[in-house]
Amino acid sequence: MVKVVESPEGLEGQGFFATSLDKVIGLARANSIWPLPFATSCCGIEFMATMGANYDLARFGSERLSFTPRQTDLLMVMGTISKKMAPVLKQVYDQMAEPKWVLSVGACACSGGIFDTYSVLQGIDKVIPVDVYVPGCPPRPEQIIEGLMKIQELAKNESLRRRDTDEYAKMLESYNIEQAK
């Protein structure tokens, strides 16, 4: 029995269905999130388990992973990010097209984890804005799936004009990220 996503409320008739645009777009964006697995260490292994058949992430719409930022919506940062890697991460984030979300998986990506040292970046939110944090060392696949489901909630309920607002522009400026116009 295949479970399909519920359609939004709307006016239905013979051969047509009328609803509001942001509901449809939210539905489409939420159920077809294509992730970029920026997997650096152990959390990457947990992600590999999550993508496997047992905890299948593909049933949430994330069937097509891609290691190119140009074609993805969600940047999943999984693993320890060193200070040398931080500009690379920022460049990958810059290359993604709007709308984009960032999921920070694991203690090291959220806050540096147990590696409070000279070489580890103490949390990726020092260089890029993060939408959902998944704590754990490493988090279980179920927790990574919950993180993705929260991103789905964000994508579904996001206002279509959000990326054009001044507040968003100010937030990007605080990270020194140029907004592509």
Partner 1 sequence: MAFINENTNNSAVCSVDQYDMLNVNITADQLIDLVDVLKNKQGFIYLTDICAAHYPEKVGAEFEVIYHLHNLIENQRVRLKVALAESDINIPTLTVHFVGANWMERETFDFYGVNFVGHPDLRRILNMDDMDYHPLRKQYALEDETRTDKNDTFFGR
CA 168 to CA 153: how far, in whole Å? 19
CA 12 to CA 80: how far, in whole Å? 50
The least distance separating partner 1 from the CB of residue 123, rounded to whole angstroms, comes to 8
Query: Of the two residues 91 and 117, which places its CB atom closer to partner 1 in the complex?
Result: 117
The least distance separating partner 1 from the CB of residue 173, rounded to whole angstroms, comes to 20
Query: Of the two residues 35 and 123, which places its CB atom closer to partner 1 in the complex?
Result: 123
Query: Of the two residues 126 and 163, which places its CB atom closer to partner 1 in the complex?
Result: 126
Establish if 165 lies at the interface with partner 1 (CB under 8 A): no
| Tokens found for residue 159 | 């206002």
Strand spans (E) along 1-131: 11-13, 16-18, 35-39, 74-78, 101-105
Segment interacting with partner 1, rule: CB under 8 A, options 29-37, 64-72, 115-123, 139-147: 115-123
Establish if 119 lies at the interface with partner 1 (CB under 8 A): yes
Establish if 116 lies at the interface with partner 1 (CB under 8 A): yes
Tell me, what DSSP letter sits at residue 26?
H
The least distance separating partner 1 from the CB of residue 120, rounded to whole angstroms, comes to 8
Query: Please, which residues have CB within 8 angstroms of residue 108's CB and are 6 or more apart in sequence?
Result: 41, 43, 79, 80, 81, 114, 115, 120, 137
Query: Please, which residues have CB within 8 angstroms of residue 7's CB and are 6 or more apart in sequence?
Result: 17, 19, 27
CA 55 to CA 48: how far, in whole Å? 10
Q: One symbol per residue from 122 to 161: x for binding partner 1 (CB under 8 A), - otherwise; what is it? A: x---------------------------------------
Site for partner 1 in 53-92 (CB under 8 A): 83-84
Give contact residues for partner 1 (rule: CB under 8 A): 83-84, 116-119, 122
